[in-house]
Copies of this chain bind each other. A is one copy, B any other.
């Protein structure tokens, strides 16, 4: 038909109304008589007009209906984590009523050369941004966003004042798990932590190592363990995966003389790996060794075990972030939220074996 796509003015002309009226037919902001509406709709159909151009609309409105979600990791990696997945779910759900979608973003420019365009916070038409796991590097993304006066909320990370945070009672929760383990009589306990800093190796940590942990979640949960077991060996994993837990477990169970009777893992995935390692070493869970996790996710394939763990409201976290975004978009004050994890006893913990 036409070389140029039809615009709303074309439709208006065809329907013999003013552009403003035509616009209103599509946005529904103002009442329109049925007759007029019909005329406009017919004209639109006739011209193959499929509704207002979102680009133009977003310029005029000052809203794009897009919420950016910023990760520090490789996108593919981020979704390997069930907790993040659930969060995204909650987030998606919470922003949907705003008519908003989620734009996946990474904070760094891999090729930070000026040559290539950066698909970044700066060039994307965001209404708001959600930073996930704001540690270190994300800081500058944060500044960039704030300079543009875009509402920001941070999940699991420190963001400075004025930025709502969504977080957990990591330390207290982990302490509860440790207390549970202690109440079962365990004294030889080890802990397996999440990664301590960007791109670090796995392995047992020295005291010095522990002091330089830059990932807040890891630090807090470890502190929770330390509240009860100041001297328990701590093994840092390189990621939250079953295989990482397996590697950690193998090392912890390697020496029969120094074998822990309980392992406190900082994630369910790690815990699952530890359970596997225990089986592999001929240890029965929970008879010979107790294992606790963190997250309360369903570990696919771990049945019949049910981890003793701390159930965190992952979906809720996402939802809360979405709510905060919604509030800020409505010019309201959004405040930080601190969720409480719930201790859940499964079948992977038991009293210390009597020798």
Contact = CB atoms under 8 A, between A and B. Distances in A.
A85 B92 contact: no
Given A66-B124, A80-B85, A101 B99 contact: no
B79 A85 contact: yes
Contact of A272 (B89, B149, B243, B301): B301
B92 A104 contact: yes
Given A66-B66, A88-B79, A100 B125 contact: no
Nearest to A80: B85
Interface-centre pick from A117, A124, A149 (highest chain B CB count, 10 A)? A124
A51 B125 CA distance: 12
B65 A76 contact: no
A13 interface: no
Nearest to A87: B76
Most buried by B among A80, A95, A147, A300: A300
A74 interface: yes
A56 interface: yes
Interface string A90-116: 001001111111111110001000001
Residue with the greatest number of chain B CB neighbours at <10 A, chosen from A62, A64, A68, A246: A64
Given A50-B144, A242-B301, A243-B301, A117 B92 contact: no
A273 B301 CA distance: 7
Given A59-B56, A85-B76, A246 B301 contact: yes
A205 interface: no
Given A5-B149, A50-B122, A119-B95, A241 B300 contact: yes
A62 B55 contact: yes
A217 interface: no
A101 B148 CA distance: 19
Point out which of A53, A68, A75 has the most chain B C-beta atoms below 10 A from its C-beta: A75
Given A50-B144, A55-B62, A101 B89 contact: no
Given A65-B119, A300-B243, A102 B99 contact: no
A304 B173 CA distance: 34
Q: Kindly state the interface size class of chain A when it binds its partner.
A: 35 or more
Given A99-B116, A300-B243, A124 B54 contact: yes
23 contacts: A50-B147, A54-B64, A54-B122, A55-B59, A55-B62, A55-B125, A56-B59, A59-B59, A64-B125, A65-B124, A66-B66, A75-B88, A76-B89, A92-B104, A92-B106, A98-B119, A99-B116, A101-B103, A102-B103, A102-B104, A103-B104, A243-B300, A273-B301
Interface of A: 5, 48, 50-51, 53-59, 62, 64-66, 68, 74-76, 79-80, 82, 85-86, 88-89, 92, 95-106, 110, 116-119, 122-126, 144, 147-149, 241-243, 246, 269, 272-273, 276, 300-303, 315
Given A76-B89, A92-B106, A242-B301, 18 more contacts: A48-B147, A50-B148, A51-B122, A51-B123, A57-B123, A59-B59, A65-B117, A66-B125, A75-B89, A79-B88, A80-B85, A96-B116, A98-B119, A99-B119, A102-B104, A125-B125, A241-B300, A301-B301
8 smallest beta-carbon distances between A and B, as pairs: A99-B117, A76-B89, A242-B301, A54-B125, A79-B79, A242-B300, A55-B59, A79-B85
